[in-house]
Structure 1
Amino acid sequence: MSDPACQLYLITPPVIDDLDAFAAQLESALDAGPVAALQIRLKPASDQQITAAVRRLAPIAQGRGVAVILNDRPDLASALGCDGVHVGQSDASVASARRIMGKTAMIGATCHDSRHLAMEAAEAGADYVAFGAFFPTDTKQTEHRPDPEILTIWQEVMEVPSVAIGGVTVDNAAPLISAGADFLAVSAGVWAHPQGPAAAVRRFAELMSATD
C-alpha cells in the first residue's frame, strides 16, 4: 500500500510542564499511526529547556523513523542532532538556516497566506513551505487566514511540498487534504483530543487514507 498523499506533521504543545509524562503521550501517539515529522516548538523557553526537550523527545521520534524539526533555532537544531529546523518570517532566513544545518537538513518556512513568500522560500532552498493559520488556534497568535485554494494552486505549479497549519483538527482537516496539502501540521488537535492523542492520530490516518 502506498503512502497517503497527505501526511501528519505533529507539533508539540508550546509549554510542556512534565517532560516524562509528555514523552509517554508522544510514544502512544507515534505508535497509533503514521507520523512524518515532529516539530519541537516551545514558547517561551530557555536554551536549557529546549535542549532538555530535544534530548528527551528526539530519540522517541527518530527511533520510530519520525523526523525531528526544531522551531526557530538552527543553531540548537544542528548542535542537538535534529533532522531539520522550521523558521518563521521574523526568524533566521532559509539560506542562513541551510548554512548552519548543512545540505541534508530539512528546512521549512512559514509563509502565512502568501504564495510570493512561499516562492521566495522555495527558491532559497526550503524543503517545505507552511501556509496558515487556516482555522482559529490558541497555540499562537495569528493574523493570516488563507483559503484552502492556496494549497491547490501551490500543488499545481510547485514541486516543493506544502504544510497546512493552524487550528487543524480531525473535524476540519478533510477540506485541507482534498485541497492538496502534503502535510497537516497539528498540535492541540492531537494533544487535546477528547479521546486522547492516540485516538486523534488514528483518526487522521483514516482521513488521509480515505482521500488518497
Structure 2
Amino acid sequence: MSSGTKLYLDYVVTGPLASSCAVLSAILETAPIASLLIRPGSGQAYDAKTVRGLIDIAQKKGIAVLLNDMVQARDLGADGVHVSWAPDVVERFKIARQTAGGAMIVGADAGRTRHDAMEIGEADADYVAFGIPAHVEDRGRAAERQLGLVSWWSEVFEVPCVALDVADADQARNLADAGADFVGVTITAENSVSEATARVRAYSEALSAHEDVK
C-alpha cells in the first residue's frame, strides 16, 4: 500500500507493558501501518511507561504516533493528538491545535456532523475523521451514514479523511472505495497476538484489493 488508502491503527491499551508491546510489535510486522493512535481503556488513564514503550516501537518503524485527547502528547514523545468525538469537539480541537503547536499532528473525529467536520477542517486540522460512537445502537445504519460522509468529504475537501470504528474488512474496503485516505483498525492489548495480527492482515488485504482494482 505505497499509495492510496492506508491503515490507521487504533490501539487501545488495556494491559501491562510486556503484553502491550508484544501485541503491537507483532502487528507492525504483519502489515504496513501509516499511523498509530494510542488511547487508554475505558475509565483508565495513560500509563506513561507503557505509552513511551509503545511510541518507541512504532517510531522505530517510521510510524507517526498520536495520543487520544492528550494535548501535551509531546511530553511523552508522541507526534500528535487525536481529539475524540463529543458534542464540543470543535472547541476541544481548537484548544488542542493551539496548545500542540504547528509542528504536531492534530486531527479530530467529527462524528456524523458535516458542519463540525467543515469547522475542524477550516481550523487547520491535519485530518478529519468520521467514527461511530460506542453508544450508537443501529451500527448498520451508522455505517451507511459514515460511508456517505466519507464520500462527500473526499469529493469536496483536500484535508485527508480517516474512517474510524470500522466493523470488519468488508467495510474497510467499502470506505476505501468511498474515498477514505485512512481506514482505522481497532486492536486492544486484550487481543491475543494471533487475534490482533489476523484482524490487521484482513483489513490490509481488503485495502490492497481496493488498490488493485483502481
Tell me the TM-score range normalised by the shorter chain: 0.7 to 0.9
* Other-structure match for 2:114: 115
Contact 1:169 1:190 in 2 (8 A): no
Match of 2:28 among 27, 30, 55: 30
TM-score by length of 2: 0.84
Q: CA–CA distance in 2 between the matches of 1:127 and 1:87?
A: 12
- Tell me if the contact between 2:130 and 2:164 (Cα under 8 Å) persists in the aligned partners: yes
Give the Cα separation in 1 of the matches to 2:185 and 2:61: 18
2-structure distance, mates of 1:81, 1:105:
11
Write the deviation string for residues 176-206 of structure 1: whole angstroms up to 9, x where unpaired.
Answer: 1111111111214997489522232222222
3-state SS in 1 of match to 2:124 = coil
User: Over residues 48-95 of structure 1, what are the superposed CA-to-partner deviations in whole Å (9 max), with x where a residue is unaligned?
Assistant: x2x2222111000011011110001112x0211210001133466222
State the one-letter code of the partner of 1:148.
L
What are the Cα deviations for residues 18-77 of structure 1, in whole angstroms up to 9, with x where unaligned?
Answer: 221121110010111110111111132235x2x2222111000011011110001112x0
Within a 5 Å distance, the mapping from 1:69-108 to structure 2 comes to 69-75=66-72, 77-88=73-84, 89=86, 90=88, 93-108=92-107
Provide the identity percentage. 38
Asked whether the equivalents of residues 9 and 36 of structure 2 are also in contact (C-alpha less than 8 Å), the reply is yes
**TM-score, structure 1 as length reference:** 0.85
Q: Which runs of 5+ in 2 are unaligned?
A: none
Stretch of structure 1 that moved more, 158-167 or 197-206: 197-206
Match of 2:53 among 41, 53, 56: 56
Alignment partner, residue 135 of structure 2 = 141
Partners of 2:50 and 2:148 lie apart in 1 by: 36
The aligned counterpart of 2:43 is 44
| Unaligned segments of structure 1, at least 5 residues | none
